[in-house]
């Protein structure tokens, strides 16, 4: 049972679930879809490239949703999230889309998520709509303005704004290409280590 005014914000893909686009690349045999925000920091550039590939390969939203529905959570993710949600309020901050996230959220007992939306015509993904530019960072800033202490964790370049804005930001299983550019941020490599780091932060409140 949580008693302190603390909120944990987590990235979804790479922290709790597999990377959706990498899974789609593996299932479809389209290697260009393996690129993520670990590889391309400009999210708009990354998404425009993905949409071009989907149109070229005639991949529909329903095709991608079928692949997502077959994905497991990362090993240990459910137990970690259950433990964390018993100790603090948790919000998932993700740059995925509601149309992609739901099958995975069901496997996590439907935690709160802030993410984006796809624009779909006749089952074809034609564009996307961001809920807010740099929404992870802005959400953390707003939570802190409401007098919450925020502990944040993510694994990629698009998480760094959130991590730097939080009272405590921690990498989780991030590649060295990411962590090397942000040496002031602590890096964790297992759910136990991440949970231990959260407990140390909580003890300071």
pLDDT exceeds cutoff 90 at 165: yes
pLDDT exceeds cutoff 70 at 134: yes
HEC letters along the chain? CCCCCEEEEECCECCCECCHHHHHHHHHCCHHHHCCCCCCCCHHHHHHHHHHHHHHHCCCHHHHHHHHHCCCCCCCHHHHHHHHHCCCEEEEEEEEEHHHHHHHHHHCCCCEEEEEEEEEECCEEEEEECCCCCHHHHHHHHHHHCCCEEEEEECCHHHHHHHHHCCEEEEECCCHHHHCCCCCCEEECCHHHHHHHHHHHHHCC
Instruction: Give the pLDDT score at 163.
Output: 98
Q: What confidence tier does 1 reach under pLDDT thresholds 50, 70, 90?
A: low
* pLDDT tens digits along 101-125: 999 999 999 999 999 999 999 999 9
Percentage, residues of the chain above pLDDT 70: 99
The domain locations on the chain are 6-20+71-203
Average pLDDT on 148-171 reads 96
pTM, to two decimals: 0.91
Q: Average pLDDT over the chain, rounded to whole?
A: 94
Instruction: Give the pLDDT score at 37.
Output: 75
* pLDDT tens digits along 42-92: 888 989 999 999 999 999 999 999 999 999 999 999 999 999 999 999 999
Average pLDDT on 151-165 reads 96
How is domain 6-20+71-203 classified at the CATH fold level? Rossmann fold (3.40.50)
Any catalytic annotation for residue 32?
no
Any catalytic annotation for residue 44?
no
């Amino acid at each position: 049972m949580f008693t302190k005014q603390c909120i944990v914000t987590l990235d979804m893909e790479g922290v709790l679930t597999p990377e959706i686009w990498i899974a789609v690349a593996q299932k479809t045999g389209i290697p260009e879809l393996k690129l993520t925000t670990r590889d391309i920091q400009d999210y708009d550039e990354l998404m425009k490239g993905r949409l071009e590939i989907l149109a070229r390969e005639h991949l529909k939203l329903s095709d991608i949703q079928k692949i997502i529905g077959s994905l497991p959570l990362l090993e240990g993710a459910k137990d970690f999230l259950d433990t964390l949600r018993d100790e603090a309020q948790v919000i998932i901050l993700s740059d995925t889309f509601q149309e992609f996230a739901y099958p995975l959220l069901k496997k996590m007992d439907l935690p709160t998520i802030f993410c984006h939306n796809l624009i779909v015509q006749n089952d074809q993904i034609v564009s996307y709509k961001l809920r807010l530019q740099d929404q992870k960072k802005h959400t953390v800033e707003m939570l802190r303005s409401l007098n919450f202490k925020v502990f944040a964790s993510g694994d990629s370049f698009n998480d760094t704004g959130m991590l730097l804005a939080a009272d405590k930001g921690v990498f989780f299983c991030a590649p060295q290409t990411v962590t090397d550019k942000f040496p002031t941020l602590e890096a964790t490599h297992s759910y136990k280590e991440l949970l231990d780091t959260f407990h140390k932060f909580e003890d300071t409140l």
